[in-house]
Amino acid sequence: MRTIIHVDLDAFFCAIEEQRDPSLHGKAFAVGAQPNQRGVVASCSYPARHHGVRSAMAMARALSLCPQLIIVPSRHAAYRAASAQVMALLHSVTPQVEQISIDEAFLDVSALLPEDAEPEAAYRLAQHCQQRIKRELQLSCSVGVASNKMVAKIATDYGKANAGKKNSPQAICVVPPGEEAAFLAPLPTSALWGVGPKTEAALARLGLNTIGDLARHPPEDLLRRFGQHGYDLSQHARGIDKRPIVTFREVKSVSSETTFVHDVTDWDQLHDTLRELVDDVVHRLQRHQLQGSTVKLKLRWPDFTTPTRQMTLPAPTDETGALLGAATSILQQLWIEGTPVRLLGVGVTGLSSREQLSLWDAPKKAEEHAKTPAREAASSDAPPASEPAVADSPEWQKHQEKQQKLQHVLELLHKRFGPSLVQRGCRNKTIHIERFDND
Ligand SMILES: [Mg+2]
State how far the Cα of 75 lies from the Cα of 264, in Å rounded to an integer. 22
pLDDT in tens, 350-359: 888 764 433 3
Asked if residue 329 lies in contact with residue 271, where contact means CB atoms within 8 angstroms, the answer is no
Read off the pLDDT band of 396 (50, 70, 90). Answer: low
Distance 102 CA to ligand 1 centre (A): 8
Residue 412 Cα to ligand 1 midpoint, Å, equals 31
**Which residues, 6 or more positions from 68, have their beta carbon under 8 angstroms from its beta carbon?**
28
Q: How large is the average pLDDT for residues 47-56?
A: 93
Instruction: Tell me if residue 104 is catalytic.
Output: yes
Instruction: Give the long-range contacts of residues 155-161, CB within 8 A, separation 24 or more.
Output: 155/6, 155/183, 156/6, 156/7, 156/8, 157/191, 157/439, 158/183, 158/187, 158/191, 160/8, 160/10, 160/439
Which one, of 153, 150, 384, 342, lies nearest residue 257 by Cα? Answer: 342
Instruction: Tell me the backbone φ, ψ of residue 270, rounded to 5 degrees.
Output: -60, -45
Q: Identify the pLDDT of residue 426.
A: 35
pLDDT digits (tens, 9 = 90+) for 273-331: 999 999 989 988 887 778 899 999 999 998 888 899 999 988 889 999 999 999 999 99
For residues 254 and 235, what is the distance between their CA atoms, to the nearest angstrom? 28
CA 9 – ligand 1 centroid, Å: 4
Ligand 1 centroid to residue 99 C-alpha, Å:
12
Going by pLDDT thresholds of 50, 70 and 90, the confidence category of residue 33 is confident
pLDDT in tens, 193-242: 889 888 999 999 999 999 999 999 999 999 999 998 899 999 999 999 99
Q: How confident is the model at residue 261, as a pLDDT? A: 80
Query: For residue 152, how far is its CA from the centre of ligand 1 (angstroms)?
Result: 14
Query: Vertex 188, ends 103 and 234: CA angle to 5°?
Result: 90
- d(CA 1, CA 4) in angstroms, rounded, equals 10
CA distance 98 to 222: 30
The pLDDT, as a whole number, for residue 418 is 47
Task: Please indicate whether residue 394 or residue 237 has the higher confidence score (pLDDT).
Answer: 237
Is the pLDDT reported for residue 340 higher than 60? yes
Which of the residues 17, 18, 98, 104 is marked catalytic?
104
Phi and psi angles of residue 345, each rounded to the nearest 5 degrees, phi first: -140, 150
Q: What is the dihedral of CA 279, 44, 299, 83, to 10 degrees?
A: 30
Residues 12/138, Cβ–Cβ less than 8 Å: no
Question: In angstroms, what is the span from residue 259 Cα to ligand 1's centroid?
Answer: 18
pLDDT band of residue 401 (cuts 50, 70, 90) is low
Domains of the chain: 17-74 (3.40.1170.60), 182-237 (1.10.150.20), 251-417 (3.30.1490.100)
* Highest-confidence segment of 92-106, 174-188, 243-257: 174-188
Distance, CA 91 to ligand 1 centroid (Å)? 18
Residues within 5 Å of ion ligand 1, judged at the Cβ atom: 8-9, 103, 439
The residues that bridge with 351 in the sheet, in sequence order, are none
